């Protein structure tokens, strides 16, 4: 084994994702929902730096006051899970540059956890396979394996069955409403549609896309409804995940930027490109 490099390892991306569609097919007896959804990454990321330590301590620093560095933090839980799974005696100091909104439905926490697993597996030289990392990731959250697999994917079941896909890599104007949507609350609501018929992938890719959570979220969170009503005037637009972020699709970056320039001052947003290969996979390949 090569000696462990205890220099700081910089600029590991934790990219956001969009659910290009989200269909809720039914609710199982155990309470979990079966769904069909299409995940694509975008080039808008949190950034993590790591420094390997020669004790088992795990320390997290963050630029955002809302990120609490305690035992419930997904980044620290991911690192601890990797330690326990591999019996690794090393530790890490971790720096998080938080850029992605929390509670926005674009996967910030799950992506941070996935990047932590992938980066520390590399830096600690624990040599787990992608499938083993995804198994650990699934114990942390349903979306974590998508970020570990690092390829745009069609997901079904409760989100664990993944098929790599190649949707068009469009430009998106993403609006971030001032709302923190609870996924658990939305999936617990009796009014949530739970009967969208399951379709095969080819049919889904050719049909118009929708988000079965969108109407319910808009009813509860007027900020989301307002953002969507504004955005849909410029481009085909939907909500991602269980919200709160909404996105409009543009073929040309300049058109997305032109719409962003018209964004009302009370709204926040950004332009990003859809990516079928995650920036995390590119960073890992760089070593």
CATH number, position 18: 3.30.230.10
Tell whether the model's pLDDT for residue 280 goes beyond 70.
yes
The predicted structure's pLDDT at residue 4: 59
Please choose, from the candidates 62, 36, 63, 46, the residue with its C-alpha nearest in 3D space to the C-alpha of residue 11. Answer: 46
Instruction: Give the range of the structural domain holding residue 233, as residue numbers without chain letter.
Output: 171-275
Contact 240, 19 (CB under 8 A): yes
The predicted structure's pLDDT at residue 3: 47
The C-alpha atoms of residue 117 and residue 122 are separated, in whole angstroms, by: 9
Q: Are 48 and 147 in a shared domain?
A: yes
Please choose, from the candidates 43, 100, 99, 111, the residue with its C-alpha nearest in 3D space to the C-alpha of residue 75. Answer: 111
Q: Are 86 and 207 in a shared domain?
A: no
The residue out of 146, 165, 184 marking a domain boundary is 165
Q: How many domains does the chain have?
A: 2
Sign of the C-alpha dihedral, residues 146, 152, 157, 161?
Answer: negative
The pTM for the full model equals 0.93
Does residue 280 fall inside a structural domain? no
Tell whether the model's pLDDT for residue 31 goes beyond 90.
no
Residues serving a catalytic function are 17, 143
Does residue 281 fall inside a structural domain? no
Does residue 108 fall inside a structural domain? yes
Q: What is the pLDDT of residues 97-127, one digit of tens each?
A: 999 988 788 998 999 999 999 999 999 999 9
Determine if residue 223 is left, alpha or beta; phi over 0 gives left, psi from -120 to 50 gives alpha, anything else beta. alpha
Indicate the average pLDDT of the chain.
93
Q: Are 194 and 268 in a shared domain?
A: yes
Q: Are 129 and 197 in a shared domain?
A: no
Give counts: helices (H), strands (E), the chain: 10, 10
Q: What is the pLDDT of residues 181-239, one digit of tens each?
A: 988 899 999 999 999 999 999 999 999 999 999 999 999 999 999 999 999 999 999 99
Three-state SS at 32:
coil
Question: Cα 19 to the chain's mean position, in Å?
Answer: 9
Contact 114, 144 (CB under 8 A): yes
Q: Are 160 and 177 in a shared domain?
A: no
Does residue 283 fall inside a structural domain? no
Does residue 4 fall inside a structural domain? no
Q: Are 154 and 186 in a shared domain?
A: no
Angle, to 10 degrees, between the axis of helix 74-86 and the axis of helix 130-140?
130
The residue out of 132, 165, 198 marking a domain boundary is 165
Q: Are 115 and 198 in a shared domain?
A: no
The C-alpha atoms of residue 155 and residue 17 are separated, in whole angstroms, by: 13
Q: Are 138 and 231 in a shared domain?
A: no
Q: Are 111 and 178 in a shared domain?
A: no
| Cis ω for the linkage preceding 244 (within 30 of 0) | yes
């Amino acid at each position: 084994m090569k000696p462990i490099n205890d220099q700081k390892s910089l600029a590991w991306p934790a990219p956001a994702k969009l659910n290009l569609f989200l269909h809720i097919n039914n609710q199982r007896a155990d309470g979990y929902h079966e769904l069909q959804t299409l995940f694509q990454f975008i080039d808008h990321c949190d950034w993590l730096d790591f420094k390997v330590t020669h004790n088992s301590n795990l320390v997290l620093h963050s630029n955002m006051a809302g990120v609490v560095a305690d035992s419930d933090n997904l980044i620290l839980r991911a690192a601890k899970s990797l330690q326990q799974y591999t019996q690794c005696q090393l530790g890490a100091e971790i720096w998080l540059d938080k850029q992605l909104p929390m509670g926005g439905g674009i996967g910030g926490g799950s992506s941070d956890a996935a990047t932590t697993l992938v980066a520390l597996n590399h830096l600690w030289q624990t040599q787990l396979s992608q499938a083993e990392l995804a198994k650990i990731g699934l114990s942390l959250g349903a979306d974590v394996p998508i970020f570990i697999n690092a390829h745009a994917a069609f997901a079904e079941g409760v989100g664990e069955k993944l098929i790599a896909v190649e949707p068009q890599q469009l430009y998106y104007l993403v609006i971030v409403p001032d709302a923190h949507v609870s996924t658990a609350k939305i999936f617990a609501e009796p009014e949530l549609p739970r009967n969208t018929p399951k379709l095969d992938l080819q049919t889904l890719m050719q049909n118009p896309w929708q988000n079965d959570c969108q109407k319910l979220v808009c009813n509860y969170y007027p900020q989301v409804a307002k953002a969507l009503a504004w955005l849909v005037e410029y481009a085909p637009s939907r909500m991602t995940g269980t919200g709160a972020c909404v996105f409009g699709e543009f073929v040309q970056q300049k058109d997305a930027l032109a719409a962003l320039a018209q964004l009302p001052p009370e709204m926040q947003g950004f332009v990003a490109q859809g990516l079928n290969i995650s920036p995390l996979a590119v960073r890992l390949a760089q070593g």
